């Protein structure tokens, strides 16, 4: 199944001088992690593996015309808990800006669904409760702070305090999330400032992240200190303004740091790690997973 799609792999990030990719992974024998990623809009993604599902920054209503809004069918299905999004374990919002979160959209989903948990920074939760007072006291609405962790079924979420880009007004509270599901560890940073100092102090590289979903400006340059500080095996670029999509895409193709630019709403990918756990690797080999690949599905 996967072999059929190898030709459509966009970019792989090589992690060592030799032996990257599937061949090296099979040499070690295990483990393999796999998560299906669906691009919703802007930084919105749906992640699924073995029945566990997470949506990050996926419930918004296109209030900022410069940024991609959800396709109408996807928006309806997410808000009304209909196929293909009838089952979601956790919805996360990195911050309350309207290209990442919409209180009424989240409120609609919470009313339509008795299972899903919504977690976000306290400030975002305040916005939600101000607009949807019926959710006050709902135990499935959770305010998170940097350092907090949450387990819902097979999904683990760890919140990381990552300040928002500088803005003319007071900065909103922005959290990054390290989400573990399907054997993969995936970071979503929201609109975090690409500060090397911040990322280095959060010690994310020690987590050996499989993938990081970042705004496209993080990966603009071929070699970026902030990517080194994040230390993920691959990067998924998002938050591409609609008008720039065609300019951004060709530029990114030349970058060895980018696995895929999220630009086509509804596109689905299989995010796959083939590599060895750190304790299984031969001495002297790189400590990061062997490869992290996106296959178009
Ligand atoms: Zn923002
Ligand atoms: Zn944004």
pLDDT tens sequence across 36-68 = 999 999 999 999 999 999 999 999 998 998 899
Q: Check: CB of residue 292 under 8 Å from CB of residue 278.
A: no
User: Residue 110 and residue 141: Cα distance in Å, rounded?
Assistant: 9
CA angle (232, 191, 155) in 5-degree steps: 55
User: Residue 69 and residue 87: Cα distance in Å, rounded?
Assistant: 21
pLDDT at 236 over 60: yes
**DSSP string for 154-192:** TEEEEEEE-PBPP-SSPPPP-EEEEEEETTEEEEE-TTB
Residue 28's CB is within 10 A of a number of other CB atoms, namely: 17
Q: Check: CB of residue 33 under 8 Å from CB of residue 183.
A: yes
Mean pLDDT of 106-117: 98
**What is 3-296's CATH number?**
3.60.15.10
Neighbours of ion ligand 2 (CB under 5 A): 99, 191
CA angle (30, 189, 296) in 5-degree steps: 50
pLDDT of 288: 43
Mean pLDDT of 150-174: 95
pLDDT at 268 over 50: yes
Query: What is the whole-number distance in angstroms between the Cα of residue 297 and the centre of ligand 1?
Result: 30
pLDDT of 275: 60
Q: Which residues of 75-112 are buried (b: 16+ CB within 10 A; e: fewer)?
A: bebbbebeeebeebbbbbbbbbbbbbbbbebbbbbbee
pLDDT at 286 over 70: no
pLDDT of 5: 26
Mean pLDDT of 112-126: 98
pLDDT of 114: 97
Closest ligand to C-alpha of residue 172 is 1
Query: What is the whole-number distance in angstroms between the Cα of residue 4 and the centre of ligand 1?
Result: 38
Closest ligand to C-alpha of residue 215 is 2
Neighbours of ion ligand 1 (CB under 5 A): 97, 191
pLDDT at 120 over 60: yes
Lowest mean pLDDT: which of 111-115, 128-132, 181-185?
Answer: 181-185
Query: What is the whole-number distance in angstroms between the Cα of residue 98 and the centre of ligand 2?
Result: 8
Closest ligand to C-alpha of residue 192 is 1
Closest ligand to C-alpha of residue 175 is 1
């Amino acid at each position: 199944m996967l072999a059929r799609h190898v030709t459509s792999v966009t970019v792989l990030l090589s992690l060592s001088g030799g032996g990257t990719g599937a061949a090296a992974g099979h040499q070690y024998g295990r483990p393999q992690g796999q998560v299906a990623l669906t691009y919703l809009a802007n930084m919105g993604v749906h992640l699924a593996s073995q029945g566990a599902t997470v949506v990050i920054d996926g419930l918004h209503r296109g209030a900022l015309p410069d940024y991609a809004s959800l396709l109408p069918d996807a928006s309806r299905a997410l808000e009304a808990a209909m196929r293909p999004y009838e089952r979601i374990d956790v919805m996360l919002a990195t911050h309350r800006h309207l290209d990442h979160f919409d209180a009424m959209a989240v409120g609609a989903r919470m009313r339509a669904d008795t299972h899903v948990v919504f977690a976000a920074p306290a400030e975002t939760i305040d916005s939600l409760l101000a607009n949807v007072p019926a959710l006050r006291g709902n135990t499935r609405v959770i305010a998170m702070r940097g350092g907090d962790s949450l387990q819902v079924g097979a999904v683990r979420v760890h919140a990381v305090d990552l300040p928002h880009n500088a803005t003319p007004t007071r900065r909103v509270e922005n959290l990054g999330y390290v989400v573990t599901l399907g054997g993969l560890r995936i970071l979503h940073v929201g609109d975090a400032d690409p500060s090397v100092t911040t990322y280095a102090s959060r010690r994310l590289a020690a987590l050996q992240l499989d993938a990081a979903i970042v705004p496209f400006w993080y990966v603009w340059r071929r070699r970026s200190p902030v990517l080194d500080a994040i230390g993920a095996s691959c990067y998924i670029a998002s938050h591409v303004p609609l008008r720039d999509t065609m300019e951004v895409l060709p530029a990114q193709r030349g970058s060895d740091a980018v696995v895929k630019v999220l630009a086509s709403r509804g596109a689905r990918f299989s995010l796959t790690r083939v590599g060895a756990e750190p304790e299984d690797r031969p001495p002297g080999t790189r400590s990061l997973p062997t490869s992290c690949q996106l296959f178009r599905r």
